[in-house]
Every structure is written in C-alpha cells, then in structure tokens.
Amino acid sequence: MLIIIFLIKLLLSITADWKASKSIRDLPEIKKAKTLNVVTEYNSVDFYVSGDSVAGFQLDLCRYIAQRSGLKVQIYLENDLETAIRKLENKEYDVIAQKIPITNANKQFLTFTVPITQSKQVLVQRKCNNNDSTRFIASQLDLANETIYVAKNSPAIMRLNNLAEEIAEPIHIKEISGYTSEQLIYMVAKKEAEYAVVDKEIALQNIHLYPDLDFNTDISFTQLQAWAIRKTSPVLLDSLNIWIMEFKQNDDKNRKPITSGRKQSMRIFQSSLYRIAND
C-alpha cells in the first residue's frame, strides 16, 4: 500500500514538473522555436511606416538583436500597454519593446532590461490666442479640475493620479482607445481636446508640424525607460541586457543619440532575420 501511495505521489510530481516545464518560455525555448516575438507601438519615433518602408528606434534595436542572436524577430504592433502585458503573460509576446518607465509600481508585475532611454511626459496644449478661451497651463498646479486626454493604459495615467494627490485637487483623465500619441496631438490642434499628455520625444518629433501648440509644461520628472519581459524569463533577460548594452555602445561610437529616433529605412519583410506581423 505504501509503495502504491509513493508511486502515485511520484507520478503526480512528475506530471506537475512536466506541466511547469511546458509552460516555461525562456531563451532556450525561444531558440527552439527560432522566433522572438516582440511587441512595440506605432509612433513617429519608435516605429513608423512610410510608403513601403519602415523605420524607427525600436526597429533598429530589434534588427540588431536579430543579427546578434540569430533569431527571427517577429514584430507586432500594439498601442494598448495593458493588452501588450496580458499577451506577454500569455506567452504570445516575449518582449514589450516600448519606452516603459521603470517605476516600483511597474516592477511589481514586469521585469525590466537595463535602461535604454530616458524621457518625460509633457502637456500638449494650444498656445495663448485671443480667439481661444482655453486656459493656458503654465504650471502643474493649473491642472486642477481640468480634463486631460491620454492613450488608453498610458504610463502617464499613474503620474497624473499622483499629481492630483500632490496638488490636492482632482485631475480628470480621459483615456482614448486605439489612439497614438500623434493622434492625441492632432486632437488638441483641431480643438477636439483641450489638453493631452505624451512622451517628450514624440512631442519634439512633431513640434514642427504644429507651430500653434505648446509642449513646454512638464508633467513628470525625467524617467529611465526600458523594455519589459516576463519575470519567468531570467535567461532571456541576461542576453537582452548584453545585446542592448552592445547596441548602446555602438550607438555612442557612431554619435547617434539613442533617443533620436533615427530615420534609417528598410523594406518590409526584406530581411530573413525579422519580419512585421500582419496581425
């Protein structure tokens, strides 16, 4: 009887270990599949399409990792960070290649690579104009009781909520699903929204297109930003950190700042090492 009980426990233990091993997707499993699934967001700095070409900072880094690792990097586009995180945990994605602020709150459910960029959140508003009755926001204190538009699940939401606590006044946050930072900027320019919050690098990339807009009011301090992966992928993390640091060192040698959103273009599907997913 004791032998039977022992064998049952052993079988259950082996089954549990087998299920656990099947659910793991770290670098060894990724190498077996020969594909690293990366999700990024569409904007004028990180990833954008012009005609039949694609370019952007995140694409440059993905291309380097594909060459360095020998893996095929399949790139997906997703502007909703919450959806990206859910699919990361479901192992549909292996890496979230976005500029996610490294905060203690984010560290609770994500593992970050070494810092890749640094930036801050800025307010988008129209410049003072006699024909526009919208109040000009000169400081963060002026945001009390105002409505701010942000992309759905934007990292700016946490900062705006904290800011509301700091000024002891409500700030109304309007999340817009499926909108890019550029679309939010356009909404403010066309008076469809009074204020929006976007990443400063994206704001600077668009400043020449909207001379009537102001991007000078900071919403956050400068924050370190990085890629995010699952907490259960430590081997992938170690390798990504090595490749990212190599990429940054090469970038510095070429005197091209890593926050500049370089304009190098390449044909879609041209390389056998990376491809843009259709879905």
105 lies in the same domain as 230: yes
Is residue 270 over pLDDT 60?
no
Tell me if 264 is assigned to some domain: yes
- What is the pLDDT averaged over residues 43-65? 90
Pairing of strands 95-101, 48-50: unpaired
Q: pTM for this one? A: 0.79
Cβ of 197: how many Cβ atoms within 10 Å? Answer: 26
Tell me if 194 is assigned to some domain: yes
Tell me if 6 is assigned to some domain: no
201 lies in the same domain as 134: yes
Helix 57-69 to helix 234-253 angle (10° resolution) is 110
Q: What is the pLDDT confidence band of residue 84, given thresholds at 50, 70 and 90? A: very high
158 lies in the same domain as 43: no
Q: What is the pLDDT confidence band of residue 167, given thresholds at 50, 70 and 90? A: very high
Using CA atoms, how far apart are residues 249 and 41, in angstroms rounded to an integer?
Answer: 24
125 lies in the same domain as 209: yes
Using CA atoms, how far apart are residues 177 and 160, in angstroms rounded to an integer?
Answer: 18
Is residue 15 over pLDDT 60?
no
Structure tokens at 36: 């690293």
Q: What is the pLDDT confidence band of residue 22, given thresholds at 50, 70 and 90? A: low
Using CA atoms, how far apart are residues 219 and 103, in angstroms rounded to an integer?
Answer: 16
CA dihedral 199, 201, 202, 207 (to 10 degrees): 120
Structure tokens at 151: 């992309």
249 lies in the same domain as 209: no
Given this model, what pLDDT does residue 255 score?
Answer: 42
110 lies in the same domain as 53: yes
Bridge partner residues of 102 (DSSP): none
Bridge partner residues of 117 (DSSP): 225
145 lies in the same domain as 97: no
**71, 31 contact by CB (below 8 A):** yes
Phi, psi of 159 (to 5 degrees): -65, -40
Tell me if 11 is assigned to some domain: no
Tell me if 177 is assigned to some domain: yes
Structural domain span for residue 175: 121-221
Tell me if 9 is assigned to some domain: no
37 lies in the same domain as 153: no
Q: pLDDT, tens digit, for every residue of 226-268?
A: 999 999 999 999 999 999 999 999 876 654 443 333 333 333 3
128 lies in the same domain as 217: yes
- Tell which wins on pLDDT, 9 or 50: 50
**110, 237 contact by CB (below 8 A):** no
Burial of 7 (0-12, 13-18, 19+ CB in 10 A): exposed
Given this model, what pLDDT does residue 14 score?
Answer: 44
If you average pLDDT over every residue of the chain, what do you get?
85
Q: Looking at the 3D structure of the chain, how many domains does it have?
A: 2
- What is the pLDDT averaged over residues 99-121? 93
228 lies in the same domain as 108: yes
Tell me if 181 is assigned to some domain: yes
187 lies in the same domain as 230: no
Cβ of 56: how many Cβ atoms within 10 Å? Answer: 23
Tell me if 21 is assigned to some domain: no
Is residue 177 over pLDDT 50?
yes
Given this model, what pLDDT does residue 254 score?
Answer: 59
